[in-house]
Structure 1
Amino acid sequence: MADEIHETRAPDGTTHTTTIIDREPRRGGGLGFGLILLVLIAVAGFVAFQFLANEKTETGAITEAAQKVGDAAQDVGDAAQKAVE
């Protein structure tokens, strides 16, 4: 960092002072970007787990319904077998 002070004197005797302050550029954007990225990953994970849980629930319900249909078909088959005897 280098600071420079320049004084300019006009012919009528007035002076004008200019100060130049040289600073390093800010590099704080990485933290904000990282935080946003972390939040996006967390939201994506939450959505993915919700989707998988819904798929598992749906698959379980379909399996249970198919089992009930199979049991009902078995009962109908047993009743038909008894009717023939």
Structure 2
Amino acid sequence: MSTERTVEHPDGRVERITENDRAPAPTIVERRSGGGMGGIVALIIGLALVLVIGWFLMNMNRNDAIESNAVAGAAESVGNAADNIGEAARDAVPERATPAN
């Protein structure tokens, strides 16, 4: 008759041992290893993803600010041009003489 037992080690390894009582047979040990590396890799990938998304959001915010400043500068230039045209028109018209009563 064969006896099967499972041994769990503190480091997470699991051994399944099968013993045969009829004849001295070799002990079969099955090991499961590699626990923990998948979690570390997933954590690193997640952190890199967060950093890339943050970088894109910061650049988008910076581009919006640059665009807003450019629009404000253009509006100010248009205002200055209108003032200059108004002054030129005022200077081009000769002053009228006021009629004497």
Query: Which TM-score tier does this pair reach, normalised by the shorter chain?
Result: 0.7 to 0.9
Letter in 1 for 2:82: A
In terms of Rg, which structure is larger? 2
Shift of 1:26: 1.9
- Does structure 1 residue 44 correspond to structure 2 residue 53? yes
Secondary structure of the 2:50 match is helix
C-alpha distance in 2 between matches for 1:16 and 1:55: 75
TM-score normalised according to structure 2 size: 0.63
- Does structure 1 residue 31 correspond to structure 2 residue 40? yes
Higher relative contact order (CA 8 A, sep 6+): 1
Shift of 1:20: 2.7
- Does structure 1 residue 62 correspond to structure 2 residue 71? yes
Question: Following superposition, which runs of at least 4 residues in structure 1 exceed 4 angstroms of deviation?
Answer: 22-25
Instruction: Judge which range, 49-58 or 27-36, deviates more.
Output: 27-36
Instruction: Judge which range, 25-34 or 71-80, deviates more.
Output: 25-34
TM-score normalised according to structure 1 size: 0.73
Residue matched to 1:21: 30
Q: Quick check: which one's helix share is greater?
A: 1
Q: How many residues align?
A: 80
Gaps in structure 1 of 5+ consecutive residues: 10-14
Shift of 1:57: 0.9
Gaps in structure 2 of 5+ consecutive residues: 1-7, 9-14, 96-101
Shift of 1:81: 1.7
Secondary structure of the 2:92 match is helix
Q: Structure 1 vs Structure 2: percent identity of aligned residues? A: 30
Residue matched to 2:19: 6
RMSD: 2.6
